[in-house]
Amino acid sequence: MGKFKIVGGNKLHGSIVPQGAKNEAMQIICASLLTEEKVTITNLPNISDINNLLSLLHDMGVTVERYSENEVSIQAKDIDFSYFETEDFSNKATRLRGSVMILGPMLTRFGKGYLPKPGGDKIGRRRLDTHIIGLQKLGAIFENADKCQIAITPPDGLKGTYMLLDEASVTGTANIIMAAVMAKGETTIFNAACEPYIVQLCRMLASMGAKISGTGSNLLRIEGVSKLRGTTHRLLADMIEVGSFIGMAAMTGSELTIKNAGIKDLGMIPNTFRRLGIKMEFIGDDIYIPQQDHYEVESFMDGSILTIADAPWPGFTPDLISIVLVVATQAKGTVLIHQKMFESRLFFVDKLIDMGAQIILCDPHRATVVGLDRTQQLHAVKMASPDIRAGVALLIAALSANGTSIIENIEQIDRGYQNIDKRLFDLGVDIERIND
């Protein structure tokens, strides 16, 4: 188990390049199972969740070659189906939420797939209904086994159909798309997720020979093909990292440039931070954040308290709710943070309260933040990272705090942020990784 030792109060300076998008990478890696030809992925983040998924594919019999820290090739020519019956597969897949997206490609290409209980962040209920129901509508048959569900394709294969998804699940939509691209006939998916990650997945599949229309909307039409070819795909910049760096600059009153930020794919993220009073300029594809000693929260036109809530794309991403909440603690004004999608994601605010933040946790989904306007600096405490995004939120709080903070369980942060301590050190942060 490792921990970060952070001496707060230092300003950031210089520029930083965000890593490739973790959430997109999980889908793209799984999509490589759809062809026996080589798929090359660039701008791939070197983080534990991604490496664990690549390791899982390798154990399945997939050839994985790493050309550099951020470039790999994947070739799923042969699959060892006996591996799915092992304890090792069950353990590895269960620890990794992205493993659920192996199911769609396996079903449509090989006629059989395995669905272990997925892992990932403990942030509340994360249903798999969308995945299972969507695949069942394509014809998949699910059977319960000891440690996982086994899904089987009928002898005549998956067949295209119309479906209305019960929720616009990103991973659910991705799984269904990957199964549908090689199903017979046309599949229509209504209420599909339309995040940039899904757009990127569709573009990649199109370059492999898939026939998909409606990309970027919530209505997708997919004409099944018999075979897909290899391709090369470059991941977008990670929008969650971009938002995290904006939050870091604001909380520490720093001047920072985020280079190659993928501005056109950020959606509501810049405007949401601007509503907290954070200034930024777009220079080409870079975001320049000037030094601000104070930032003031906007109020609604009728004078009521600003509410920031997550929502399916193009709404504000739930992965940045934790970051926005921390940033609000040093703003001038009051903000209601409403985390609609996950009921356990706000519980980390107890640590912020221990640091001196003025926060009222109304219920598992809502917290009212009374900004201190830097009149009272947060103070350092010892804390543990409960999940990826809360971990980085606590890291941001520690950067602005008075004194030396200790963050334990940093393995959670490493799951989503590549070499975060080294990259922040280069920006002037006094941070040290301690391995127990």
- Backbone phi, then psi, for 81, in 5-degree steps? -70, -20
Q: Which residues pair with 281 in a beta bridge?
A: 288
Cα 5 to the center of its chain, rounded Å: 25
∠155-156-161 over CA atoms, to 5°? 125
For residue 314, cis peptide bond before it (omega within 30 degrees of 0): yes
2-19+237-435 folds as UDP-n-acetylglucosamine1-carboxyvinyl-transferase; Chain (3.65.10)
CA–CA dist 397, 206 (Å, integer) = 42
Q: Retrieve residue 389's tokens.
A: 């995004």
In tens digits, the chain (436 residues) has pLDDT values of 789 999 999 999 999 999 999 999 999 999 999 999 999 999 999 999 999 999 999 999 999 999 999 999 999 998 998 898 888 888 888 888 788 899 999 999 999 988 876 544 443 444 688 899 999 999 999 887 666 778 889 989 999 999 999 999 999 999 999 999 999 999 999 999 999 999 999 999 999 999 999 999 999 999 999 999 999 999 999 999 999 999 999 999 999 999 999 999 999 999 999 999 999 999 999 999 999 999 999 887 787 899 999 999 999 999 999 999 999 999 999 999 999 887 777 889 999 999 999 999 999 899 999 999 999 999 999 999 888 889 999 999 999 999 999 999 999 999 999 999 999 999 999 999 998 7
CA–CA dist 263, 18 (Å, integer) = 12
**pLDDT score for 121:** 42
**pLDDT score for 241:** 97
Strands (E), 107-236: 112-116, 141-144, 148-152, 162-164, 186-190, 211-213, 219-223, 231-234
Pairing of strands 15-16, 256-258: parallel
**pLDDT score for 127:** 65
- Max intra-chain CA distance, the chain: 69
CA–CA dist 6, 403 (Å, integer) = 8
Length of the chain equals 436
121 catalytic per annotation = yes
Amino acid at 131: H
Angle between helix 170-180 and 22-31 (nearest 10): 20
The boundaries of every CATH 3.65.10.10 domain in the chain are 2-19+237-435, 22-234
**pLDDT score for 341:** 81
- CATH code reported for the domain at 22-234: 3.65.10.10
Helix intervals (H) in 121-238: 129-137, 170-180, 196-207
Q: Which residues pair with 190 in a beta bridge?
A: 164, 219
* H or E stretch at 110: helix 103-110
Catalytic residue among 49, 88, 121, 363: 121
Strands (E), 17-140: 39-42, 63-68, 71-75, 112-116
Sheet holding 148-152, edge to edge: 112-116, 148-152, 141-144
**pLDDT score for 147:** 62
Q: Please answer whether residues 39 and 75 qualify as being in contact, where contact means their C-beta atoms are separated by less than 8 angstroms.
A: yes
**pTM recorded for the entire structure:** 0.93
Nearest to 403 by CA among 433, 383, 424: 383
Q: Retrieve residue 431's tokens.
A: 């941070």
